[in-house]
Chain A
Amino acid sequence: MSQVGSMTMLLSEASGPSLPTIKDFLPPEILFQGTPFAINRIIFIRIVATIVLLTVMCVTASRVKLIPGRWQSAVEWVLDFVRNGIVYSVLGSERGKRYVPMITTIFMTVFVFNLCGVIPGANMAATATIATPLVFALWTWCQYWIAAAREQGLGHYLKEEMFPKGVPWPMYVIVAPIQLFEIAIVRPFSLTLRLFANMLAGHMLVGTCLAMGQFYIIEMSNKLMTLVGGVWLIAGLVFVCFEIFVAALQAYVFATLSTVYISQSYPQAE
């Protein structure tokens, strides 16, 4: 893809379509350059999204009534979905109560940040740098290790995870390191990568379709090519809808997997 990027750079000089490149994900710093508080375009989008999310939620929360209006019902439906559909269905209401705020925070934040990818003007998911998914994944990582230490002790947890029952003992030589690698590194790594790569791919997909559409419809003088451009444009619109779906799906997957990882830190029922 890097070569593709360089190729498109060359092509764009030859008035080709301005295809999205990975440079979109590495925007220049625009404020406080060189300090640990530097702000670039994606971080700016993230801050704006945060402010919008918090304002909307705080206003809704402060006006919350016993008999909900339309908007409050919608928000309550989402909160109820996270609590009952994700946390309680995996952890049960007894254990899950402690994790409802955490999972709700993760779900809402990831969802709103993902949605920024299709909002005109932003056109870039706020989760589309590796740091944000990484921070969320590390939060989950901390939570499930803490839960393991609290509920069954670290030694017991490691023993349960690394030496699962029902495996013939010579297999432990292979299984134990893999399991340790899995719970220590692979889980947060996969959470991070999944979200980030989805946002990356989504931006590339939508950006490519729309850029091609614009190129064929407006910049090409050949009128026959307008048809091709129309196909690209329709594909772009379809992928925008798909991205909205993916935004919700990834938030759901992130929240569910966090809950599942935490639930696996609890001692097995059997």
Chain B
Amino acid sequence: MPQATDGVRLFLPETYDIVWSLVILVVIAVAFYKFILPKFQSVFDERAEKIEGGMAKAQKAQEDADAAKRKYEDQLNNARVDAAKIRDDARDEAGSIIADAHKRADAEATQITTNARRSIASQQQQALVSLKGQVGTLATALAGKILGAKLEDGDVQSTMIDSVIDELEQSK
């Protein structure tokens, strides 16, 4: 049965077959382990790095932009607060200025009134004094004319005038 042994021979490896299989396997394995796969791996890594680097860069730019935006917003808020403060201050100041002006005007008005009153009083006094003099003289002259020479004595004259004026003052 030579054919039967042929069938078995299919499953019994020849020495040279194993030798060549091993040689080829080792050659291919060495080539893949040492050259081909590291080469591809380096490119894969480089590509991944590129993509990750790009993404990191984009993220950094985004963060920068966010930070700048935040800064600007902060500045804007500060400016707004400052402006409000300045406005408030100005309003306060204006109010105080107006109040001051009011006060000063009031004071001046009072002063003017007082002065006016005082000058009126003094003028009145003056007028009164001059009136007193004139009225005395006038009345004396009048009375002299009426009475004739009866009132030629100076002492009587002045005493009379003074009593008349006192009456006048009391009646006033």
Interface residues of A (CB under 8 A from B): 1-3, 5-6, 22-23, 25-26, 29, 32, 35-40, 43, 46-47, 50, 53-54, 57-58, 60-62, 64-66, 75-76, 79, 100-102, 104-105, 108-109, 129-132, 134-136, 139, 200
Contacts and interface: CB of A to CB of B under 8 A. Distances in A.
A139 B32 contact: no
Interface string B13-24: 111111111101
8 contacts: A36-B15, A37-B16, A43-B20, A58-B36, A76-B44, A130-B10, A131-B21, A139-B25
Contacts of B19: 36-37
A177 B153 CA distance: 177
A37 B24 CA distance: 12
Given A54-B31, A79-B40, A101-B37, A46 B6 contact: no
B94 to A, nearest CB: 71
Interface string B139-164: 00000000000000000000000000
Interface residues of B, number: 37
B9 A26 contact: yes
Nearest to B50: A66
B20 A64 contact: no
Contact of A104 (B4, B37, B44): B37
Contacts, number: 117
Given A109-B25, A139-B25, 16 more contacts: A3-B3, A5-B6, A6-B3, A37-B20, A43-B20, A46-B24, A50-B24, A54-B28, A57-B31, A57-B36, A66-B47, A101-B29, A101-B37, A129-B13, A129-B17, A129-B21
A27 to B, nearest CB: 11
* Closest 10 A/B residue pairs (Cβ): A2-B3, A131-B17, A131-B13, A61-B39, A38-B16, A135-B21, A105-B32, A131-B21, A61-B36, A132-B21
Given A3-B3, A22-B6, A64-B40, A109 B17 contact: no
A40 B35 CA distance: 30
B72 interface: no
A130 B39 contact: no
